[in-house]
């Protein structure tokens, strides 16, 4: 029998189809911008485009697909495979399309830099610093050049790194960045210049790259008249999702690779730009049509396929009040009588209970847990809910929270692998050396100096004389290091060696060694999925697995679980039911970012992103009392909260308002005036007299 085909493009609307068919079969594919609102099928169109390109003869190896996360890249590959399968016919057994060049800008940058390292004066054994490492190195350099001693009020290492990063990503000079974004640091301009110079030198000496370098070196590489065309020629098509959240450097990368914009297609929504705080700019979308030597075609999509009309109405109202113009008219034919809910709740504990009740009700009504999500502004906001979910045995997975990578024991194991790959990386070396009992910072520094100057790092480690009491442990480490540096050792044998060496140290250092050992096992499992040590280290640094309470990595596939996610990490996704926690002023907009008008507008877009994730049920929860977890020195506190300013009284008609007071709710207590509290404390203190 001939295979039966059906037309997967039949369901596309005219504009989507125009984007999918854009310049198919033409000798030259002009640049294309699809700008459209949430849920209008941008990502879906991109997936169909990939399938269509492959069907018309494009080589999947020569398609570069840039997405916001590794997860998104994987999903896009799957969707494209599905479409292609239908195109080619059901009867045929078609292996899924693999798109070897699908990933985030940073991950792809790391790969290209590894390939081209020799050509641009990088040593290809470079290791990558994550944000935490980068901060630590900035702090170290700051200390070394004496700033922490002479300038007591000098910005902290995290702020210094943010400023540096902003300068690199926005391609603006330091003084402008200080003026516009960090005005309180303006007085330090000269010192910051010195610091950044030393920071860059330190990275180079140690053969490490930070996140920004992955983009920066890529951009510089493609700006080169010889390398640019060479790298551009690796790809016939360059497709980018979520273009509104790219920065200047990323736009420069596209232009460098494809000066005429040939084969470049980007999709995005200016109303969903939520990464300006990291230097992203919607200007990239606005400027796209004239960014290349050839003008770009622009397609807009107006039909929303995701949400019901009432959800769309409420979301549109929120975004329409923006001072910016997001001129878009979205419509849907998904009528519904259910308005989004706006629920007033006494406090966060009640919020957790209420949300759990709703989740279970939805499940009773046939909505699987995986079709339900709870979204929040900051990762810490789900704490009460997580407890309640556990108490009720409702399985959940949390995205965007504390990273697996941040655990000390995971950092230890990775540091050993990094130190083996790149002996000049001082942060890793420093950490590893101090795992050995009896070795402190001073000894570690001596060791790293010796290794840094030696031609053969293994010999330097072996020749090093540790404190007498460390002798035995030192020898064990030397043996490990020699084996790890032996050429031809097959990955992932390395990680087994490291594990065997590390576990006794783990037991010595931690009471909960068993729990931590399980994490190390997880890491070893992840490592096994990679072909080389470099690719494993790069991926785990760039896109670390996200831990949920006690387990890392995704749960079993057939398990049913609720998704907990920060709004930022929920980008591009959709669920039948969505709860948004803490829809109060101080949270959305966040207390931390109520500075400028621009900051506030970004928070409004964030709420818009959250609301537009919902397909059928949307619940915005407004706890009356809200617990703010502040920075350590200020202490935590409860505040009385009000509904977010983004939902004005005029907009209430789009919501079903509800209030909820459960029987077992403790009465909300009035805070006592400070004078009364002082009196009580004073009396208690003097009671013994």
Binding site for ligand ATP (CB under 6 A): 11-13, 16, 36, 38-44, 269, 272, 305-306, 572, 574
**Residue 626 DSSP symbol:** E
Within 8 A by CB and 6+ apart from 202, the residues are 137, 140, 141, 426
Q: Does the annotation place 37 within a ligand binding site? A: yes
Q: Considering CB distances under 5 to 8 angstroms, the limit depending on partner class, which of ligand ATP, Mg ion, none binds residue 541?
A: none
For residue 70, the minimal CB distance to ligand ATP (Å) is 16
**Nearer of residues 36 and 208 to ligand ATP, judged by Cβ:** 36
CA 164 to chain centre: 19
Percentages helix, strand, coil for the chain (3-state, rounded to 5) are 55, 15, 35
Strand partners, 280: 247
**Nearer of residues 15 and 412 to ligand ATP, judged by Cβ:** 15
- Which residue, among 235, 227, 224, has the nearest Cα to 66 in the 3D structure? 235
Interatomic CA distance for residues 391 and 520, integer angstroms: 27
Interatomic CA distance for residues 469 and 76, integer angstroms: 55
Q: Which stretch binds Mg ion (CB under 5 A): 342-350, 438-446, 571-579, 582-590?
A: 571-579
Residue 414 near residue 443, CB atoms below 8 Å: no
Interatomic CA distance for residues 447 and 481, integer angstroms: 14
Joined tokens for residue 537: 């280290």
Q: Considering CB distances under 5 to 8 angstroms, the limit depending on partner class, which of ligand ATP, Mg ion, none binds residue 582?
A: none
Give me the torsion for CA of 117, 122, 125, 127, rounded to 10°: -110
For residue 536, the minimal CB distance to Mg ion (Å) is 29
For residue 40, the minimal CB distance to ligand ATP (Å) is 4
Q: 16 — phi, psi (to 5°)?
A: -60, -40
Q: 687 — phi, psi (to 5°)?
A: -60, -35
**Nearer of residues 340 and 572 to Mg ion, judged by Cβ:** 572
Joined tokens for residue 223: 């700006």
**Ranges within 13-42 binding Mg ion (CB under 5 A):** 42
Q: Considering CB distances under 5 to 8 angstroms, the limit depending on partner class, which of ligand ATP, Mg ion, none binds residue 602?
A: none
**Nearer of residues 267 and 413 to ligand ATP, judged by Cβ:** 267
Q: Considering CB distances under 5 to 8 angstroms, the limit depending on partner class, which of Mg ion, ligand ATP, none binds residue 269?
A: ligand ATP
**Nearer of residues 277 and 305 to ligand ATP, judged by Cβ:** 305
**Ranges within 214-243 binding Mg ion (CB under 5 A):** none
- Buried-state track 203-241, b at ≥16 Cβ within 10 A, e below 16: bbebbbbbbbbbbbbbbbbbeeeebbeebbeebbbbbbb
- Which residue, among 299, 300, 288, 230, has the nearest Cα to 264 in the 3D structure? 288
**Nearer of residues 206 and 612 to Mg ion, judged by Cβ:** 612
**Nearer of residues 36 and 108 to ligand ATP, judged by Cβ:** 36
For residue 35, the minimal CB distance to ligand ATP (Å) is 10
For residue 284, the minimal CB distance to ligand ATP (Å) is 16
Interatomic CA distance for residues 124 and 203, integer angstroms: 14
**Nearer of residues 240 and 448 to Mg ion, judged by Cβ:** 240
For residue 316, the minimal CB distance to ligand ATP (Å) is 14
**Nearer of residues 357 and 573 to Mg ion, judged by Cβ:** 573
Q: Considering CB distances under 5 to 8 angstroms, the limit depending on partner class, which of ligand ATP, Mg ion, none binds residue 472?
A: none
Interatomic CA distance for residues 535 and 668, integer angstroms: 54
Termini Cα distance of the chain: 99
**Ranges within 94-113 binding Mg ion (CB under 5 A):** none
**Nearer of residues 36 and 526 to ligand ATP, judged by Cβ:** 36
Joined tokens for residue 51: 């399938």
Residue 363 near residue 72, CB atoms below 8 Å: no
Q: Considering CB distances under 5 to 8 angstroms, the limit depending on partner class, which of ligand ATP, Mg ion, none binds residue 40?
A: ligand ATP
Nearest residue relative to ligand ATP (C-beta):
41
Within 8 A by CB and 6+ apart from 340, the residues are 310, 311, 314, 611, 614, 618, 619, 620, 654, 655, 656
For residue 280, the minimal CB distance to ligand ATP (Å) is 15
**Nearer of residues 231 and 271 to ligand ATP, judged by Cβ:** 271
Q: Considering CB distances under 5 to 8 angstroms, the limit depending on partner class, which of ligand ATP, Mg ion, none binds residue 11?
A: ligand ATP
Q: Does residue 572 belong to the site contacting Mg ion (CB under 5 A)?
A: yes
Q: Does the annotation place 42 within a ligand binding site? A: yes
**Nearer of residues 40 and 69 to ligand ATP, judged by Cβ:** 40
Residue 636 near residue 356, CB atoms below 8 Å: no
Q: Does the annotation place 41 within a ligand binding site? A: yes
- Residue 323, classed as helix, strand or coil, is coil
For residue 269, the minimal CB distance to ligand ATP (Å) is 5
Q: Does the annotation place 258 within a ligand binding site? A: no
Stated length of the chain: 689
**Nearer of residues 305 and 660 to ligand ATP, judged by Cβ:** 305
Residue 508: HSE in the Cβ half-sphere, 13 Å Cα cutoff: 10
For residue 645, the minimal CB distance to ligand ATP (Å) is 24
For residue 370, the minimal CB distance to ligand ATP (Å) is 14
Q: Considering CB distances under 5 to 8 angstroms, the limit depending on partner class, which of Mg ion, ligand ATP, none binds residue 38?
A: ligand ATP
Q: Considering CB distances under 5 to 8 angstroms, the limit depending on partner class, which of Mg ion, ligand ATP, none binds residue 94?
A: none
Within 8 A by CB and 6+ apart from 650, the residues are none
CA distances in angstroms from 445 to 427, 434, 439, 442, 567, listed in the order given: 10, 10, 10, 5, 42
Q: Does the annotation place 40 within a ligand binding site? A: yes
Interatomic CA distance for residues 373 and 396, integer angstroms: 9
For residue 239, the minimal CB distance to ligand ATP (Å) is 13
Q: Considering CB distances under 5 to 8 angstroms, the limit depending on partner class, which of ligand ATP, Mg ion, none binds residue 619?
A: none
**Nearer of residues 177 and 240 to ligand ATP, judged by Cβ:** 240
**How many binding residues for Mg ion (CB under 5 A)?**
3
For residue 670, the minimal CB distance to ligand ATP (Å) is 43
For residue 335, the minimal CB distance to ligand ATP (Å) is 16
Joined tokens for residue 355: 């949300």
For residue 306, the minimal CB distance to Mg ion (Å) is 10
Q: Which stretch binds Mg ion (CB under 5 A): 43-51, 144-152, 480-488, 649-657?
A: 43-51
CA distances in angstroms from 183 to 174, 188, 598, 601, listed in the order given: 11, 10, 15, 20
Residue 107 near residue 88, CB atoms below 8 Å: no
Pairing of strands 297-301, 372-376: unpaired
Q: Considering CB distances under 5 to 8 angstroms, the limit depending on partner class, which of Mg ion, ligand ATP, none binds residue 381?
A: none
CA distances in angstroms from 240 to 425, 569, 586, listed in the order given: 33, 17, 34
Interatomic CA distance for residues 483 and 477, integer angstroms: 10
Which residues contact Mg ion by CB under 5 A? 42-43, 572
Q: Which residues are annotated as a binding site?
A: 36-43
Q: Which residues are annotated as a binding site for ATP?
A: 36-43
């Amino acid at each position: 029998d001939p295979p039966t085909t059906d037309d997967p493009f039949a369901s596309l609307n005219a504009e989507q189809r125009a984007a999918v068919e854009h310049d198919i079969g033409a000798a030259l594919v002009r640049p294309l911008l699809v700008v459209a609102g949430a849920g209008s099928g941008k990502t879906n169109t991109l997936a169909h485009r990939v399938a269509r390109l492959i069907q018309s003869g494009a080589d999947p190896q020569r398609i570069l697909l840039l997405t916001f996360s590794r997860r998104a890249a994987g999903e896009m590959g799957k969707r494209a495979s599905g479409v292609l399968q239908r195109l080619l016919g059901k009867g045929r057994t078609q292996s899924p399309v693999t798109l070897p060049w699908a990933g985030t800008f940073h991950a792809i940058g790391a790969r290209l830099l590894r390939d081209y390292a020799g050509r641009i004066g990088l040593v290809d054994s470079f290791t990558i610093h994550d944000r935490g490492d980068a901060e630590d190195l900035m702090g170290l350099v700051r200390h070394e050049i004496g700033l922490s001693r002479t300038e007591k009020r000098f910005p902290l290492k995290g702020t210094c790194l943010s400023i540096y990063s902003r300068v690199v990503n926005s391609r603006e000079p330091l003084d402008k960045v200080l003026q516009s974004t960090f005005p309180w640091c303006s007085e330090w301009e000269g010192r910051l210049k010195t610091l950044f110079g030393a920071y860059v030198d330190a990275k180079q000496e140690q053969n490490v790259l930070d996140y920004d370098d992955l983009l920066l070196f890529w951009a510089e590489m493609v700006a080169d008249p010889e390398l640019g065309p060479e790298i551009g020629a690796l790809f016939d098509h360059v497709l980018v999702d979520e273009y509104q959240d790219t920065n200047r450097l990323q736009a420069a990368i596209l232009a460098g690779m494809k000066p005429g914009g040939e084969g470049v297609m980007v999709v995005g929504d200016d109303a969903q730009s939520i990464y300006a705080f990291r230097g992203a700019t919607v200007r990239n979308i606005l400027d796209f049509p004239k960014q290349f030597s050839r003008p770009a075609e622009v397609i807009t999509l107006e039909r929303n396929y995701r949400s019901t009309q009432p959800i769309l109405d409420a979301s549109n109202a929120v975004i329409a009040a923006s001072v910016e113009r997001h001129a878009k008219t979205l419509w849907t034919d998904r009528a519904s009588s259910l308005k989004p809910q706006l629920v007033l709740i006494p406090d966060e504990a009640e919020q957790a209970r209420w949300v759990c009740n709703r989740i279970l009700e939805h499940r009773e009504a046939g909505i699987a847990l995986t079709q339900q999500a709870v979204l929040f502004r900051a990762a810490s906001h789900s704490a009460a809910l997580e407890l309640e979910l556990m108490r009720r045995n409702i399985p959940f997975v949390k995205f965007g929270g504390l990273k697996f990578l941040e655990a000390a024991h995971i950092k230890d194991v990775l540091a050993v692998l990094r130190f083996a790959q790149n002996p000049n990386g001082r942060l890793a070396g420093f950490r590893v050396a101090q795992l050995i009992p009896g070795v402190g910072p001073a000894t570690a520094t001596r060791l790293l100096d010796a290794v840094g100057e030696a031609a053969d790092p293994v010999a330097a480690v072996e020749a090093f004389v540790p404190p007498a009491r460390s002798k035995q442990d030192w020898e064990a480490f030397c043996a490990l290091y020699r084996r790890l540096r032996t050429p031809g050792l097959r990955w992932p044998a390395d990680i087994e060696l490291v594990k065997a060496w590390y576990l006794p140290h783990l037991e010595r250092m931690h009471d909960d060694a068993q729990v931590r050992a399980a994490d190390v096992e997880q890491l070893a499992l992840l490592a096994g999925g990679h072909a080389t040590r470099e690719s494993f280290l790069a991926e785990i640094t760039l896109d670390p697995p996200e831990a949920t309470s006690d387990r890392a990595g995704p749960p079993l596939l057939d398990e049913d679980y609720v998704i907990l996610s920060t709004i930022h990490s929920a980008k591009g996704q959709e669920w039948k039911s969505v709860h948004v926690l803490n829809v109060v002023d101080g949270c959305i907009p966040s207390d931390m970012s109520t500075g400028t008008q621009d900051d506030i507008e970004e928070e409004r877009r964030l709420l818009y992103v959250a609301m537009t994730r919902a397909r059928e049920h949307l619940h915005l929860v407004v706890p009356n009392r809200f617990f703010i977890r502040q920075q350590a020195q200020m202490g935590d506190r409860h505040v009385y909260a009000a509904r977010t300013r983004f939902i004005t009284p005029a907009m209430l008609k789009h919501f079903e308002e509800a209030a909820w007071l459960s029987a077992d709710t403790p009465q909300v207590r009035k805070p006592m005036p400070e004078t009364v509290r002082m009196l009580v404390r004073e009396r208690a203190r003097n009671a013994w007299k």
